[in-house]
Structure 1
Amino acid sequence: MKRNIYIGMSIVWLALSTVACNKELTEITPDSSLTTTDYYKTAKDIDLAVLGVYSSYQTRKPTDYILLELPADNLYRTTYTLSAGADDVDNMAITSANPLFGNFWEASYGGIFRANAVLANIDNPTDYKAKQKDQFTGEAKFMRALYYFDMVRLFGGVPKVTKLLTIEEAKSLPRATKEEIYELIISDLKDALTALPPKADMAKGRVSNGVAAALLGKVYVYLKDWANAKLYLDMVPGYGYTLQTDFASLWKLENEDNAEIIFAIKYIEGTNGHGLSTAFLPFPGKANIASAGLESVFPSWDLHKLYETGDTRKAASITEFYKTPTPANSPTIWFPHVSKYEVKHTVGSSGIDLPVLRYADVVLLMAEVQYGLNHPDLALIELNRIRARAFGNVSKNYTQADIATPETFTDKILLERRLEFAFENERWFDLVRTGRLLTELAFEERGYNPATQTALKFTLQTKPNYVLFPIPQRQIEVYNPGVLQQNKDY
C-alpha cells in the first residue's frame, strides 16, 4: 500500500503535535489538522507552528542511535531488539527496503515541511512583537538546515525543498546535488545567525544565535573549509558556552541547562518523555532508575576496552554488570549497559534532555581546524582540553609526537570523539567523513568472556558504497518513474 507518500511535501499539515519542545511551553495543544486557510494568521499561530518544527526532531531523536550508532562499533543489538530492520543494520546487511531508512527520511522531511510552512506564511500576521518575526524566521531556517545536514550526510544529494509543494509537484522533484544541499544549509544558517536573538532572550530548548554559529562551524569542518570553520567556531565561546569541569555532571537531570550544552532537545518525564533511557537499561530494570528496561542494545567490548584507567567518561557512559547464567556453575557473563542517559524515570518516559550540540564538539572540531591550517601546536592544545577534563589532570595529555602525522592525528581525534560522544550519534558520521569506514569497521569485538579474558569478535561486511545509505525504496516507488535515483551499488 503506497501510503508513505513523501510526507514532507504535503500542502496540508497533519498532526502538528501535542508536544512542545521546551520545558516552559509544555501544555500547548495545537489543532490536529491545520491548513493555510485557517491558520498562520497571528503571531501565536506562527509560534505554535515553529514549535511543531522542533517536535518532529524531538520525536525522531530518541531512535537515531539505531542508524547512527548500531551499524558502527559502539553498540550491538540484543535478542530483545524490537525495531524492524535493526538486525540488518547491525550486521551490515544494508538495503533500500529496510524500513529504518524510510522512517528517518520521512521524519526528516516532515520537519522540513513544517519549517517551509512557517517561512511561507511568516508575513501573514500583523501582531508580532519587536524582533519576534525575525526570531521565528531564524528558528525555522536553523531547523531546516539541521534536518538537511542530517540528510545530506546520510544520503548525499536529496530533493531540495524550500517551499510548499503539492503532492504531484513533489513526485516530480529530483535529487539536488550534495553541493546544492550544503549551499542551502550554509545560507539558512547564516540567515539564522543574523536573525536569532542571544540565548538569554530565548526560552530553554529553543535555538539562539550561538547555536547557529556552532552548527555553521561544524558544517564547514565537514566541507574541510578550515578558514570558514575557524571563523564561526571562534565565535562560540563569546556566546557563553564552555566546558563543564565534571563530565558526569552533563548527564544529571539537575544540570541539564549547563554552559556546555549548546543545543539539546527537551523532554519531561510523563509529559513528553522519551524511551531512550529505557531502551538502554537491562531487561529487569535497575533499583532507583526504572522498574524495567528494554535491553535493546549492549555497548561493545570494542569501545569499552578503549577507556583507560582514570578516564571519568567510562563510568558516565557504561555501567559494568555481570550476569550469572543457568546452570549456576556456568561462566559469568559480562553484561554491561549504556548509562549515559540513566536517570530515574517511568518506563518509556525519560526526562533527560538529548544533546544535539555540545561545546566539547566545538573544541574537538577546532582541533581539526587548527591541524588543517597547519597549526599542530594549537590543535594539540584543543585536543588536550578534552583529555584533561576526562582524567581530571594533565597526566594523560598527548604530546606533539602523538600527532606527528595527519594519520596519527586522525587516530587521536577519532579516539577522543569516540570516547567523548559515545552513544550521541557521532560515530558513523565521523568514520565516513574521515575516510575510515572500511578500515575501522572490518570487525567488531562485541561481547567479552571474563573467564577466558577473550573478546567475541564479529566480522563486519562493510562495503565501500555504505558511505551513503540507500534512498528508501518506498520513497522511490511513490515518485514518478525514474525521478528519484538510487545511490550507487544499491
Structure 2
Amino acid sequence: MKTKYLAILLCAAFVLPGCNDSFLDRIPLDELTDETYWETEEHLILASNACINYLRGKSRSVDMEFLGDNVFRERSSEYKTLGSGNFTSDLSVINSEWTTDYDGIRRCNHFLENYERAQKVSASVRERYAGEAIFIRAYLYSYLVNCFGDVPRVTNTIDVGDDELYGSRTDKETMIEWILDEFDRAAAVLPYAKDLKDSELGRPTKEAAWAFSSRFALYHERWDKAVSSAEEVMTAGFHKLYDNGNPETTYNELFTLAANPVTNKNNREFIVTRLYSEEANQTHNLSRELQVPNEEARSAPTRSLMDAYLCNGLPITLPASRYRENTHEAIFNNRDPRMAQTILKPGAKWGGYPGKTTYEQPKFSNSATSCRTTTGWYFTKFVELSAISRYNKDQNAIPLMRYAEVLLNWIEAKEMRGDAITQPDIDKSINLLRDRVGADKMVLTKLNAYGLNLRDEIRRERRVELALEGERYFDLLRWKQGDLLAKDVTGMRKSTVPPSEYVYVEDIPTDDKGNLILMTGRTFSDMKNYLWPIPFTQTQRNPNLLPNNPGWE
C-alpha cells in the first residue's frame, strides 16, 4: 500500500495516493463554488492545504542566502541584486515577494470566512483547521513586516472594487503585536506534535506556532515573548535534536534523504518542513545546483562564512587557535565539525565530477567537465548524492524551522533582555548543538579568559548552525549590522589555489590577506536598506501605500 501522509508539499488541487479521490472525480476543481463546498472534513483539509502550500521551501530558505554574506553566485540573480543594495523599487523579485505573500493571505482569509459552514464536522475539528489558516497567515505577514515594515492588514477576502483593495498601510508596531497574538491564537487550537497521526505529517502544530512566534519576537526585540514562546516548545517535550549516533555525519545527514521525517521517525528536529516526494511529483533541484557535474555551482561558500567556524574551539583570529592556512586542505584542520558537514572537505564523497566519487580539489575553469566553484569551496549541506545525476529529482526535506533554532532563539533572547547567562543556560542550548557533532563546548570562563564577547559568540553559533537556511540576511538586519552587507565578497587565498587551476584565477585581484576578490560595489545605506521599498507596481495600483519607506520616496 502506498504511504499515506498529508505533507506541506500539497497544493490546493493535489491529494496524495490513498486519499479519497471520488470528490475530485465528481466535481472538477475549477467548478467548485462556495455552494458546493465547505461540507466535510475532506473539504477543510483540501482548502487548508491550499494555505499550507504557501510555506515555500528552497525559495524561502536557500535562495534567501543570496541576500547575505554566506553565499556567492557569479551568475546574476535578482536575489543577488537585492543583496547588493544596488536596486530600485521596480525590481521584480520585490513585487513577487509582496504578491505571493498576499496571495497566500487571501487564501487564508477565504478559508476563515467559510470554514464554519462545515456543520457536518465537529467544532473542535473545524477550529483545528482554522488554526492552520491563522498560522499560515501570521507566517506570511511576519515576512511582509520583516521586509517592508508598515503593510496593509487585510483579514477578509478582497474582490475587485472593494475599498479595502486600495487601503493604506498599518504601522509596523501594531502589526507586530497583532502577528504575535495570531500565533498565540493558532497555538490555542492546533494539536501538539506528539498527537499528529502519521497521515498528518507536515501539518502545523502548537510547536510550529510557538517556534515562529519566538523567531518573530526575537527579530522585533520582544525578548520576553521570544523566551516564553521558545520555552513552550522546549517544555512540550516532543521535538529534539536529530542524532544518528555518529558525530562525524549526523549534522550533514539531517539535511539528506536519510533523515526525511516521512521515513525516519528519529528526526523530530524539524518543526515546520517543506516535504517532497517524487511519487507525488513534488521535487526540487538543490543537490544538483550545489554540485552540478558540468557547470558552475549555483551557490558557493564565501570567505566570510569559512572564517566564522572556530578552530580548536576559538576564533581563528586568536593566536591560541593555532589556525593555519597554507593549503586548501589545511583550512579544515581542527575546525568546528559542522564546517566539514556543511562545506565540502577534500577526501569527502561528492557528485560534482563524473566518474569520481571523492572530492580532491576545487575547479575554477569553465570547461563543462565537472563542477566549477567561484570561491574555491562547495557546499555539501543539503546535497543528496543520489539525486545529482538526475535533474530536479531531489526529495530531501527542506526545514523552515528546526528545534536547533528554537534553542538559539531562547539563549539569544535571554542574553538580549539582560539575563545573567549561566553555564547551565549554555549547556541546555548551544552546547546541545555542539555535543551532537563533538565540537568544543562553549564555556563561559573560557570566553572570559580570552576576552571574547558572549553576544558575539551566540551570534556566531547561530550563523554556523543555520548556514544555508535563509536566516543570515535577516539576522544582520535585526542586529543592525548592515555594513557587513557592503563588504566585498571574497574567496579562497590565491596562494592556496592548486597549481593546475592557478591559470584561471591569475588575473583575479586579491585583498590585503591574499583572498580572491569576487564582487565589489555592494552598498548598504542605514537610511533606507533596513527595509525594502514598497514595490513600484503596487504603489502605481494603490497610491495610498505612499509615502514609500524612508530613503525610497
* Shared fold, TM over 0.5: yes
- Cα offset, 1:489, TM superposition: 1.0
Alignment of 1:345-364 (within 5 A): 345=387, 346-364=390-408
Instruction: Please list the CA deviations of residues 185-232 of structure 1 after superposition, one character each: whole Å capped at 9, or x if unmatched.
Output: 112111111101122333111111122222222332223233332222
Percent identity for Structure 1 against Structure 2: 24
Gaps of 5+ in 2: 1-9, 244-249, 262-266, 312-333, 346-360, 368-372, 503-512
Alignment of 1:147-186 (within 5 A): 147-169=140-162, 170-186=164-180
TM-score (norm 1): 0.84
Q: Structure 1 residues 188 and 147 mapped into 2: Cα distance closer, same or farther (>3 Å)?
A: same
Matched residue, 1:423? 468
Tell me which amino acid in the other structure corresponds to 1:365. Answer: N
Give the counterpart of 2:92 among 99, 108, 112.
Answer: 99
Tell me the secondary structure at the aligned position of residue 418 of structure 1: helix
Tell me the secondary structure at the aligned position of residue 235 of structure 1: helix
Matched residue, 1:338? 379
RMSD (CA atoms): 3.2
TM-score (norm 2): 0.75
Instruction: Please list the CA deviations of residues 333-363 of structure 1 after superposition, one character each: whole Å capped at 9, or x if unmatched.
Output: 8643222211133412321111111111111
Matched residue, 2:67? 71
The 8 Å contact of residues 287 and 394 in structure 2, kept in 1 or not, is answered as yes
Matched residue, 1:7? none
CA distance in 1, matches of 2:365, 2:398: 34
Matched residue, 2:537? 474
CA distance in 2, matches of 1:410, 1:168: 51
Structure 1 stretches of 4+ with a deviation exceeding 4 A read 22-30, 403-407
Matched residue, 1:50? 48
Aligned residues: 458
CA distance in 2, matches of 1:249, 1:412: 25
CA distance in 1, matches of 2:451, 2:476: 15
Q: Does 1:204 align with 2:212?
A: no
Q: Does 1:232 align with 2:294?
A: no
Q: Does 1:366 align with 2:410?
A: yes
Instruction: Please list the CA deviations of residues 40-67 of structure 1 after superposition, one character each: whole Å capped at 9, or x if unmatched.
Output: 3333222101000111223xx3223576
Q: Does 1:122 align with 2:122?
A: no
CA distance in 2, matches of 1:39, 1:406: 64
CA distance in 1, matches of 2:31, 2:382: 34
Q: Structure 1 residues 425 and 105 mapped into 2: Cα distance closer, same or farther (>3 Å)?
A: same
Q: Does 1:392 align with 2:390?
A: no
Tell me which amino acid in the other structure corresponds to 1:461. Answer: T
Instruction: Please list the CA deviations of residues 134-175 of structure 1 after superposition, one character each: whole Å capped at 9, or x if unmatched.
Output: 210111111111111111111111110111112333431111
Q: Structure 1 residues 194 and 384 mapped into 2: Cα distance closer, same or farther (>3 Å)?
A: closer
Q: Does 1:143 align with 2:136?
A: yes
Matched residue, 1:195? 189
Q: Does 1:253 align with 2:257?
A: yes
Q: Structure 1 residues 306 and 201 mapped into 2: Cα distance closer, same or farther (>3 Å)?
A: same
- Cα offset, 1:405, TM superposition: 13
CA distance in 2, matches of 1:24, 1:407: 56
Q: Structure 1 residues 478 and 99 mapped into 2: Cα distance closer, same or farther (>3 Å)?
A: same
- Cα offset, 1:123, TM superposition: 1.0
CA distance in 1, matches of 2:540, 2:82: 22
Gaps of 5+ in 1: 1-14, 286-292
- Cα offset, 1:76, TM superposition: 1.4
Q: Does 1:455 align with 2:515?
A: yes
CA distance in 2, matches of 1:430, 1:132: 37
- Cα offset, 1:301, TM superposition: 2.0
Instruction: Please list the CA deviations of residues 406-428 of structure 1 after superposition, one character each: whole Å capped at 9, or x if unmatched.
Output: 99233212211111111101101
Q: Structure 1 residues 408 and 34 mapped into 2: Cα distance closer, same or farther (>3 Å)?
A: farther
Matched residue, 2:365? 325
Q: Does 1:486 align with 2:527?
A: no
Matched residue, 1:8? none
The 8 Å contact of residues 375 and 516 in structure 2, kept in 1 or not, is answered as no
The 8 Å contact of residues 171 and 478 in structure 1, kept in 2 or not, is answered as no
Q: Structure 1 residues 405 and 74 mapped into 2: Cα distance closer, same or farther (>3 Å)?
A: same
Q: Structure 1 residues 16 and 250 mapped into 2: Cα distance closer, same or farther (>3 Å)?
A: closer
- Cα offset, 1:262, TM superposition: 1.3
Larger Rg: 2
The 8 Å contact of residues 313 and 390 in structure 1, kept in 2 or not, is answered as no
- Cα offset, 1:324, TM superposition: 5.8
Q: Structure 1 residues 276 and 333 mapped into 2: Cα distance closer, same or farther (>3 Å)?
A: closer
The 8 Å contact of residues 198 and 210 in structure 1, kept in 2 or not, is answered as yes
The 8 Å contact of residues 62 and 274 in structure 1, kept in 2 or not, is answered as no
- Cα offset, 1:19, TM superposition: 4.2
Most deviating of 344-353 and 45-54: 344-353
Tell me which amino acid in the other structure corresponds to 1:429. Answer: F
The 8 Å contact of residues 16 and 33 in structure 1, kept in 2 or not, is answered as no
Matched residue, 1:412? 457
Instruction: Please list the CA deviations of residues 250-288 of structure 1 after superposition, one character each: whole Å capped at 9, or x if unmatched.
Output: 113132221211111111135343435156323326xxx
CA distance in 2, matches of 1:310, 1:153: 33
Tell me the secondary structure at the aligned position of residue 319 of structure 1: coil
